[in-house]
Structure 1
C-alpha cells in the first residue's frame, strides 16, 4: 500500500499507556465514471480494479446489457482522484444521455439515477432455477474469504464480495471501501472472465441491503450469502425475484431467509 494511505497514530490503552505506531487506512478517493465522453457519476471508491468497477457498474445500472456493450476502458489518475472512461453501445446510450440531461444527485448505491419512488419498486427479473445451497459450502467459503482480502488484512476496514462455486470454492473476489463498489467490481470481473454465475453463489462481507440484492440479481446470480443481516426491503426483493438468500453467516451457523427450492 502506498505511503499516502498510511499515517502515524497514537494508541491509547485502558491503563492510560500510549504508544506511537504507523497505521494503514483503507484508500478512499473520488472516481469519475465517464461513458461516451459524458460524466455519469463520481463515486468514492478504493483505486484498485477500476476497469472491473466501470464494467460492473454499467451492467448493474442497466447502462450495458452484456460486457460487449462496453469497450475501450481507460483508467487514469488525475490531480484530484481517478477517471475511468469507456465507450457504450446499445440501449444504454439512451439511459446515459437522459441521466446527463437530468443530472440526478450522485450516489454509490443501487439508487443511482432513480428519480421517483415507483422506479425503486420496479420488478426485478426472475433469477434462473437453481438447486438449494448446502450449508457446508457456505462455511467452506467463509473459511477461505480472508485469504482473498489483502486490503482488509492491511486495514481491517474494507468490504469484500466473492463468487464461489456450489461447493464453496472462491473463484473471484474484489475489495473496496464501499460494499456496493465491491459488488460492482466483482460483477465486472465475472463479466470480463465470461464466468457462468448461475451455478455458484455470491458471498458479501456487507450488510444485506436493497442494493446488494439488486446487483446480485442483475448480475445473473441465483444465490446470495451475506455476513450481516438483511433489511426488510432486501428480503422482499429477494423473494420476489426468487433469489436464494442466506444471511448472518458465521463460522458455525447461517440464517436461511429465502430458498425457492428448500431441501427435502
Structure 2
C-alpha cells in the first residue's frame, strides 16, 4: 500500500488500522501510515516496554486483512511469559471501583533514569534541528498531513527520519528503525514536529535517548516527567530559537540563541 492516494487533484495521505500483536494476542490498534510498519512494530514494542532489546523479538510478520494490517511479533520464551503475566494481572474482577488502577499506573509508569547519560550536542545543533528535519519530510511535502521524527547527531544533523499521520507513530517508527540498524539512541537526540506531551517524553526515555527536541510547545506534565527521568526537553525549536525546559546542563555551550 502506498502512503498516499491522488484524489480530486490532490495527493492525500493514507491512514490504515494497524494492529500490533505479541505472540498471537493483539495489544493495540492504531491508525497509521502504511509504510515502515516493521519499524513501527519494533519501536512500539520497545517504547511501550514489551521488550528491552531487539534480540527478544524472534520473529516478525505482516498480515494484510480486508480492513487493515496486522503486525505480528513473536517474543522469546522469557518475554512471552512476562507478557502472559501482564495480561493475567489486567484481567482481574470488574465493578470494584478499582478496575482501572493498573491502567492509571501504566500511564505514569516508572522510567529508566538517564541522568548519567552525556551528550555531544551543542546549542548550534539545537538551533538548526528543525530545519534539518524539515528537509527530510517528503510525504509532508506531498500531502501536508503527516508528522515526522528524526534522529539528530552532533555536527551531522538528522541522520535518520520517519513520517506518519500520527506523531506517536512517527516516533515509534524512528525508534524501531534505530533499533533494527543497531544505532544507539543515547548517541543523539529525537526531533519531532509536534508538541512534546508526556507520552512522547516517556517513549524517549524508554528508548534511552537523553534529549527530545519539539518544534511546538511542551505540556507541564511533560516537563515534570522529563525532569524526573533525566531527559533534556527542548521545545519551541524553530530555527534559530529554542527553549530548554529540563536538564540544560547536558547541552554544550555554544552560540547564545536560547530564548
1:181-200 correspondence runs (5 A): 181-200=169-188
Q: Distance in 1 between matches of 2:177 and 2:137?
A: 15
The 3 A distance-change label for structure 1 pair 4 and 59 is closer
Quick check: 94-103 or 75-84, which moved more? 94-103
Q: 202, 227, 238: which is aligned to 1:239?
A: 227
Residue 146 of structure 1, CA deviation: 2.3
Q: Which structure 1 residue ranges, 5 or more long, are not aligned?
A: 9-21, 105-112
Report the Cα distance in structure 2 between the residues aligned to 1:195 and 1:89, rounded to whole angstroms. 22
CA distance in 2, matches of 1:99, 1:123: 15
**Superposition TM-score, scaled by structure 2 size:** 0.85
2:172 counterpart SS class: helix
Q: Are residue 201 (structure 1) and residue 192 (structure 2) matched?
A: no
Q: Which residue of structure 1 aligns with residue 256 of structure 2?
A: none
Q: Find out whether 1:73 has 2:64 as its counterpart.
A: no
The answer to whether the Cα contact below 8 Å between 2:133 and 2:158 also exists between their aligned partners in 1 is yes
2:35 corresponds to 1:48? yes
Structure 2 counterpart SS, 1:42: strand
Correspondence 1:107-146 to 2 at 5 A = 115-127=102-114, 128-131=116-119, 133-146=121-134
Distance, in Å, in 1 between the alignment partners of 2:29 and 2:220 is 28
Kept after mapping to 2: 8 A contact 1:138/1:168: no
Match of 1:11 in 2: none
Runs of 4+ more than 6 Å apart: none
Q: How many residues align?
A: 243
> Which one of 135, 146, 155 corresponds to residue 143 of structure 2?
155
CA RMSD of aligned residues (A): 2.4
1:2-33 per-residue CA deviation (whole Å, 9 max, x = no partner) reads 5972221xxxxxxxxxxxxx112221110111
Q: Would you say the 8 A contact 1:223–1:243 is kept in 2?
A: yes
Taking a change above 3 Å as real, the CA distance of residues 218 and 94 of structure 1, as seen in their structure-2 partners, is same
Q: Residues 209 and 103 from structure 1, CA distance in 2 versus in 1: closer, same or farther, beyond 3 angstroms?
A: farther
Q: Which residue of 2 aligns with 1:110?
A: none
| Equivalent position to 2:19, from 12, 27, 32 | 32
CA shift at 1:114, angstroms? Answer: 8.0
Structure 2 residue 55 is the aligned partner of structure 1 residue 63:
no
